[in-house]
Amino acid sequence: MMNEKETPKQRGKSCSCFSFLGGGILLLLGLVGIYFVLWAMGAFLIIADPEKNVDAAVALSGGELDRVQEAARLYNEQVVHWVILTETGEMVPELGEDYFILRKNEAMKMGVPGDAILVTDRTVSSTQEEAQAVRELLQKTDLSSCIVITDPFHSFRTRLIFREEFDGTGLTVRVRPVRNHWYHSNTWWLSKAGWEATILEYAKLFAHLMGVSSNDFN
């Protein structure tokens, strides 16, 4: 029951305080909700299979040299015995050098012997073609397992594609994101690059699920 001694002015102030408090709580809940949605969008794209010993590390094409560097780290830590690179036929204009040679040299610079680097037989132009080429190489060389290295936001779709291509072959595939990468589930929306990567990746994932192929390495 309202206090009979409370004046209309006092009652008005009390209502205003409750309205302000309620609005603040709703705003806070809204911000928490937005944060959770953005975090979930990024987290959904990132997967990391266990880093167990396998035959080879596959450094997917695209991105920077950090994929090759991560594959070399696994070789140096004796998690794998081979490093697999895919051939794209691309050139690096500013260096006037073949993209594949650049990646191979980086692996060797980081301690991977040239005879421990395997190359897929055919030129590829998409993640799906890479999965097919890697499958063919593993079967040709009698290797049975690999761990695929890619960017964090590309890891979920990569595993989906590789598992589809490896289904029924008896081959084992794991996928790991590059460590110390700039893309994180709790901060990706703070940069333009994060928005571009996330939106494009969801578009590519949707296209793949709809059966639409695309020429991409990311």
User: Any idea which of 40-54, 81-95, 107-121, 126-140 has the lowest mean pLDDT?
Assistant: 81-95
Q: Kindly report, residue by residue over 85-104, the tens digit of the pLDDT.
A: 998 877 666 655 688 889 99
Contact 217, 61 (CB under 8 A): yes
Q: What's the DSSP call for residue 77? A: T
Map out the domains of the chain as residue ranges. Answer: 56-209
User: Which residues partner with 82 through β-bridges?
Assistant: 56
DSSP assignments along 22-66, one per residue: HHHHHHHHHHHHHHHHHHHHHHHH---------SEEEE-SSS-TH
Paired tokens of 124 = 């590829």
- This prediction's pTM: 0.83
Q: Kindly report, residue by residue over 5-37, the tens digit of the pLDDT.
A: 555 555 555 556 556 666 667 666 767 788 899
Sign of the torsion formed by the C-alpha atoms of 149, 153, 157 and 159: positive
Q: What's the DSSP call for residue 178? A: P
Paired tokens of 59 = 């450094």
Q: What's the DSSP call for residue 78? A: T
CATH of 56-209, one of 3.40.50.620, 3.90.70.10, 2.40.160.50, 3.40.50.300: 3.40.50.620
Question: Whose CA is closest to 186, among 26, 19, 2, 35?
Answer: 35
What percent of the chain is predicted at pLDDT more than 70?
Answer: 81
Sequence-ordered strand ranges (E) for 134-187: 145-150, 172-177
Contact 103, 85 (CB under 8 A): yes
2: confidence class by pLDDT, cuts 50, 70, 90:
very low
